[in-house]
């Protein structure tokens, strides 16, 4: 992780993905799956990752809320959104925020990268490189 990311994390306690993200690692991920199938795969994968607790799932909206405790005792709230682009294509976005004041020193950034690496391994045969 770069020094710039750590310095940004001193004042910012959130991070998220989007199509317009400047960092290519924080770009939206696309998969050749229907929204329902993609939601099932993402949900089952996230439940198996140690250290993360799935708090809430709304399949009709495509949102999963997760919680993670850091080694420093802070809590990160992560929202994973599964969006249907068309009947056979889905997008996955994430938003992670730390509870409390001050920055996170890049913890939210690292959490998003970790979750995407796990999902990319699980859904590698469906991933679309954009």
DSSP secondary structure string, 34-91? -HHHHHHHHHHHHHTSTTEEEEEEETTTTEEEEEEE-TTS-EEEEEEEEEEEETTEEE
Copy the structure tokens of residue 19. 């199509």
pLDDT tens track of the chain, all 130 residues? Answer: 567 766 776 777 889 999 999 889 999 999 999 999 999 999 999 999 999 999 999 999 999 999 999 887 889 999 999 999 999 999 999 999 998 777 788 889 999 999 999 999 999 999 998 6
pTM attached to this predicted model: 0.90
Residue listed under structure tokens 């991070």: 15
Contact indicator for 96, 108 with CB cutoff of 8 Å: yes
């Amino acid at each position: 992780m770069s020094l710039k990311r750590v310095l940004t994390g001193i004042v910012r306690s959130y991070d998220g993905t989007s199509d317009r993200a400047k960092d290519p690692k924080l770009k939206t991920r696309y998969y050749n799956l229907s929204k329902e199938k993609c939601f099932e795969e993402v949900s089952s994968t996230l439940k198996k990752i140690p250290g993360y607790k799935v708090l809430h799932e709304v399949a009709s909206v495509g949102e999963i809320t997760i919680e993670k405790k850091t080694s420093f005792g802070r809590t990160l709230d992560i929202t994973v959104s599964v969006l249907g682009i068309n009947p056979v294509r889905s997008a996955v976005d994430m938003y992670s925020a730390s509870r409390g004041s001050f920055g996170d020193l890049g913890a939210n950034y690292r959490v998003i990268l970790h979750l995407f690496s796990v999902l990319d391994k699980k859904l590698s045969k469906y991933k679309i490189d954009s």
